[in-house]
Chain A
Amino acid sequence: MGGHSDIVLIDKNGIRLDGRKADELRPIKIEAGVLKRADGSAYVVWGNNMVLAAVYGPREAHPRHVQNSNRAIVQAKYNMAAFSVGDRKRPGPDRRSVEISKIISEALEAVTMTELFPRATIDVYMEVLQANAGTRCAAITAASVAMADAGIPMRGLVTGCAAGKAGDKVILDLGQEEDNFGQADVPLAIVPRTGEVVLLQMDGHLTQEEFDEAFRLATEAAVNVVYPLQVEALKRKYAGSTEDIEEGITNGGLANSVINETPSEVNADEIVEELASREEKVALEDMDDGKQGGEQ
């Protein structure tokens, strides 16, 4: 925020630099289960952002003093690849990524049934392969899909989205120029199932009315657009077909038909599916095949 320039971020017709309208998201693609070694994984392409998330756990927390004897801890790590940004970023954590890791850990912990796994850790790794404004929202969106893919019991998925202000107008999902030369940015994450806001940041300058508008834009986009994509990605991996899902979205809307099951049932289903597909694999393939089925 705060940079000023002569760039016209929004033209007189209300169209933004990349051709979007004020309340339009960039194109988003979500894929679940993209890595072999990880217990769960997801890949999110959000405009020009590319984020990969992997989950390990629940597993023993090290060193011992970080363990909580009553519940599991969620340790999320947000990291940017050296080549993900304009000028090469020095590898390793900086103050920004430590902060983002902390708030994402807390947001994910809010939905995780940590009480089921005392002393354990659920490790979530988010790698930004290419950055183009809005990486933390893309990262947390990928992370919660990866957690569901890993079969971590959760009260709901977490969905990230940002809104802000640029060119004196409140807009959804800021792009790179809008982020650099705009007036405000409000990244947030919501649990669409419950409506809880689990991550919220703001920087820049907004009136209260503008904030209300930004908040509304971001939460509505998260719930109505991004969340169905997360659900669809998971169903595509575990159900093998997206027909039913698409029908659900267009006919009944999100609230009553996309995900009627409780989250624990979703996880149970996933596990059943996973086990079934493994049994098939074992039955179909030569026993000499080297895939370790029980790695999870």
Chain B
Amino acid sequence: MSNDVLSDIKRMHIMTLLESGKRIDGRGFEERRKIELMPNFVPRAEGSARLKLGDTDVLAGIKMDIGTPFPDTPDSGVMTTNAELIPMASPFFESGPPRPEAIELSRVVDRGIRESQTVDMGKLCITPGEEVWIMFIDIHTLDYDGNLFDAASLAALAALKGTTVPAAKFGKGEDYALPVEHLPIASTFVKIGDKILLDPNYEEQQVANARLTITFDENGDLRAMQKGIGGGFTSEEVKYMMEVAKRTSREVMDELF
């Protein structure tokens, strides 16, 4: 991602438009791109969702297995999140071991879901200290047009919402729906010059000098944050973004879930 280039003309164009209050794709500063959700896209997975945020296209799949719990949480299931920035999605993604960008993405998505206790992990315990459900969240990036954090988090959440715990297959009683208790919604902003934009597309992200992701749950409580790229925000700017994130995440929730 870092060696990605954007022509100077394009860069100037984006900046000049912003000065006159416009974004290159005609959206308002606090406006998300259109979200298109295809739930249960991969029927063979325990849960899945393909989600398009504008032209950014991600596929999240959930697999469940039985394993041993961590010693410090013997009565709680285990979740792991893995994001793949596959070379299909962008001319600048390469195959090989996950690079820092993919690891950051995995961890930001993981944090949003884990810290908001989206899934009641206590209900994923089979025998305390011995057997628990392991929940794998795998995120496949298919087409990269910016703001993977929001797209991947939403896809993961939508996939979890439709997940069935395959208990019958493992001889552990009847299948049941994964207990999803909360709805954390991530909102990512970038700063270009002194302008702050919600849901940056690829080109805006290339020009940006600072980035912040804020995750709110359905009660309007803050669940996770992640600041990225070199530049900084003033505390007023952070407050402003919190407000916008809180309001718009509610809209996303109402629209999708």
Q: Which residues of A contact B (CB under 8 A)?
A: 35-38, 48, 50, 52, 54, 56, 59, 77, 79, 81-88, 91-93, 123, 125, 127, 129-132, 286, 288-290, 292
Partner of A91 from the list B44, B46, B55, B84 (CB cut-off 8 Å) is B84
8 Å CB contacts to A: which residues of B162-217?
201, 203
A289 touches B24 (CB 8 A): yes
Assess whether B65 is interfacial by the CB under 8 Å rule.
yes
A83 touches B88 (CB 8 A): no
* Bound CA–CA A92/B144 (angstroms): 19
Most buried by B among A35, A83, A88, A123: A83
Q: Chain B's nearest CB lies how many Å from the CB of A58?
A: 12
B88 touches A127 (CB 8 A): yes
Q: Chain A's nearest CB lies how many Å from the CB of B90?
A: 5
Partner of B142 from the list A52, A86, A132, A292 (CB cut-off 8 Å) is A52
Assess whether B57 is interfacial by the CB under 8 Å rule.
yes
Interface size on B, residues (CB 8 A): 40
- Residues from chain A with Cβ under 8 Å of B41 in the complex: 129
Majority SS of interface residues in chain A?
loop
B91 touches A37 (CB 8 A): yes
A288 touches B87 (CB 8 A): no
A83 touches B45 (CB 8 A): yes
Partner of B42 from the list A79, A83, A88 (CB cut-off 8 Å) is A83
- Residues from chain B with Cβ under 8 Å of A290 in the complex: 23-25, 201, 203
B55 touches A36 (CB 8 A): yes
Most buried by A among B22, B62, B89: B89
* Bound CA–CA A88/B23 (angstroms): 41
Partner of B44 from the list A48, A56, A288 (CB cut-off 8 Å) is A48
- Residues from chain B with Cβ under 8 Å of A132 in the complex: 44
Assess whether B107 is interfacial by the CB under 8 Å rule.
no
- Residues from chain A with Cβ under 8 Å of B142 in the complex: 35, 52, 127
Assess whether B63 is interfacial by the CB under 8 Å rule.
yes
